[in-house]
Amino acid sequence: MSGQARMTLGDKTLDLPVLDGSIGPQVVDIRKLYGQTGAFTYDPGFTSTASCQSAITYIDGDEGTLLHRGYPIDQLAEKSTFLEVAYLLTKGELPTKTQLDEYSYTITRHTMVHEQLLHLYRGFRRDAHPMAIMCGVVGALSAFYHDSTDIDDPHQRMVASHRLIAKMPTIAAMAYKYSIGQPFIYPDNSLSYTGNFLRMTFGVPAEDYVVDPVIERAMDRIFILHADHEQNASTSTVRLAGSSGANPFACIAAGIACLWGPAHGGANEAALNMLREIGTVDRIPEFIARAKDKNDPFRLMGFGHRVYKNYDPRAKVMQQTANEVLAKLGVSDPIFDVARELERIALSDEYFVEKKLYPNVDFYSGIILSAIGFPTSMFTVLFALARTVGWVAQWNEMIGDPEQKIGRPRQLYTGAPRRDYVGIDKR
Ligand code: SDX
């Protein structure tokens, strides 16, 4: 504890403990506030509220800093792999070569799904949005893996964590295959985590699929950039679901559902659709005007962030990756020109400068994914695939936190005071 915050409420004055983290903002511990004053705090959207202690990810929105267990995201994106970042996020330290080899072996041997799960896909219409399939299939995993649903058993928690991280690429690829009417491709455990995913997604039984190392590296980097992000909406959903003791598969399915929203993970699909709607550079001013119009609900998708009030460090790496992939594929997608010009104009427009609206992780990712061959409907699925590592790490941290209890926010009640029932003949 590093001091106290004095609060006076009516005739009551109380000193609230102030707690320090290792880095970043202090917190005022208000756990005794209601008991001592009868008042709640009020913070819609939790913009000034710390819901937990965590040692996994740190964001400085003003500096544009993102650290995973202390390591800067740009260094991890450049030097690490997604599976190594998964180890780092879930276990807290970078692995030795032996540890990484053992971890890769374990994850690789959980990539297949129960064969009966295939029938679940057939219950969906072919034109079902892949995120709807992901919500359903991941939630259904608890019906297939009963031996890893007991959250009080550390071994079962570990097995469920491995299964979720290992099976998300398989489930995601199957959702894509189902939507285009192609047969499912089984995992090939001789490939890397990301290479396996690319083959399950784009391979067909009729011919061999050769993983392009440039695409594999770009995809792996995109997964790293999406792996975890502090207590964002979907991670908070996973934690809240987990706080009731729900099984890990149900918690991750809840996170997937929350991520789907266009204000959150759905923004990458919405951003690319917006760039396509803009179509040409000369139409950008029209959309900038709409984004500034208070009466128009339109927002520039891929811009702005709850925490980053400076550049999203992931967007910088994503832009570099977009350049590499488009050059490698020889794709000169006109929407990339629209994206760069939109960014240039937005960053010089006083509305965006004043409101500190910079491109976020979702602004460029859609351009890369589209160039690789993913339909926009798969973009948020890829976000969910990668963020499963962060959700699993945060869920395990929550389960192990002695201070955690079932999440149960209160409210400022603005409804009718007590009144007696009136019979229908008197209304
Ligand atoms: C992700 O939390 C995370 O960490 C999320 C994420 C992760 O990794 O988990 O980083 C992933 O969700 C990234 C964000 C993807 N969403 C989008 O790109 C959708 C477009 N962005 C906006 O919806 C918005 O910026 C949010 C939701 C991202 C942030 O909302 P805030 O911080 O609550 O900001 P706000 O809605 O209060 O806006 C502040 C002002 C408002 O104007 P005023 O009411 O003050 O006059 O900025 C304006 C807004 O109208 N504004 C925008 C805008 N974003 C905010 N105006 C135009 N275009 C935008 N994109």
Whose C-alpha lies nearest to ligand 1, atom 27?
A: 263
Lay out the sheet containing 57-60: strands in order across: 57-60, 65-68, 71-72
DSSP state, 191?
Answer: S
In a 3-state reduction of DSSP, which class is residue 160?
helix
Classify each residue of 329-347 as buried b or exposed e, where b means 16 or more C-beta atoms within 10 Å of its C-beta. beeebebbebbbebbeebe
Estimate to the nearest angstrom the gap between the alpha carbon of 243 and the chain centroid. 19
Burial of 296 (0-12, 13-18, 19+ CB in 10 A): exposed
Determine how many CB atoms are found less than 10 A away from the CB of residue 55.
Answer: 12
Angle CA(388)–CA(394)–CA(395) in degrees, nearest 5? 85
Nearest alpha-carbon partner for 102 in 119, 85, 84, 90? 84
> Separation of 61 CA from ligand 1 center, angstroms?
13
Distance CA 212, CA 194 (A): 11
H-type helices in 280-421, by residue range? 284-292, 313-329, 334-346, 350-354, 361-372, 379-399
Distance CA 92, CA 235 (A): 18
Single-letter residue type at 419: R
Q: Pull the structure tokens for residue 152.
A: 């009080």
In a 3-state reduction of DSSP, which class is residue 116?
coil
CB 290 near ligand 1, within 6 Å: no
Q: What is the pLDDT along the chain (427 residues), one digit of tens a residue?
A: 679 999 999 999 999 999 999 999 999 999 999 999 999 999 999 999 999 999 999 999 999 999 999 999 999 999 999 999 999 999 999 999 999 999 999 999 999 999 999 999 999 999 999 999 999 999 999 999 999 999 999 999 999 999 999 999 999 999 999 999 999 999 999 999 999 999 999 999 999 999 999 999 999 999 999 999 999 999 999 999 999 999 999 999 999 999 999 999 988 888 999 999 999 999 999 999 999 999 999 999 999 888 888 889 999 899 889 888 888 888 877 888 898 899 898 888 898 888 888 888 888 898 899 989 999 999 999 999 999 999 999 999 999 999 989 999 999 999 999 999 999 999 9
CB 361 near ligand 1, within 6 Å: yes
Distance CA 336, CA 359 (A): 14
pLDDT of residue 392: 98
> Separation of 355 CA from ligand 1 center, angstroms?
10
Q: Is the dihedral of CA 283, 289, 293, 295 positive or negative?
A: negative
Minimum-distance ligand 1 atom for the alpha carbon of 291: 57
Q: Which of 232, 278, 299, 311 should be mutated for ligand 1, with most atoms under 8 A from CB?
A: 299
CB 232 near ligand 1, within 6 Å: yes
CB 314 near ligand 1, within 6 Å: no
Span between the terminal Cα atoms of the chain, in Å: 58
> Using DSSP, how many helices (H) and how many strands (E) does the chain show?
18, 6
pLDDT of residue 1: 63
Distance CA 71, CA 379 (A): 26
Give the HSE-up count for residue 1: Cα atoms under 13 Å, Cβ half-sphere: 9
Q: Pull the structure tokens for residue 255.
A: 């996170």
pTM above 0.85, yes or no: yes
pLDDT of residue 48: 96
CB 318 near ligand 1, within 6 Å: no
Distance CA 403, CA 59 (A): 22
Distance CA 265, CA 281 (A): 26
Estimate to the nearest angstrom the gap between the alpha carbon of 227 and the chain centroid. 7
Q: Which of 237, 264, 312 should be mutated for ligand 1, with most atoms under 8 A from CB?
A: 264
H or E element that contains 166: helix 154-180
pLDDT of residue 323: 86
The residues annotated with a catalytic role in the active site are 305, 362
Nearest alpha-carbon partner for 149 in 240, 244, 249, 241? 249
In a 3-state reduction of DSSP, which class is residue 234?
helix
pLDDT of residue 209: 97
Distance CA 368, CA 272 (A): 10
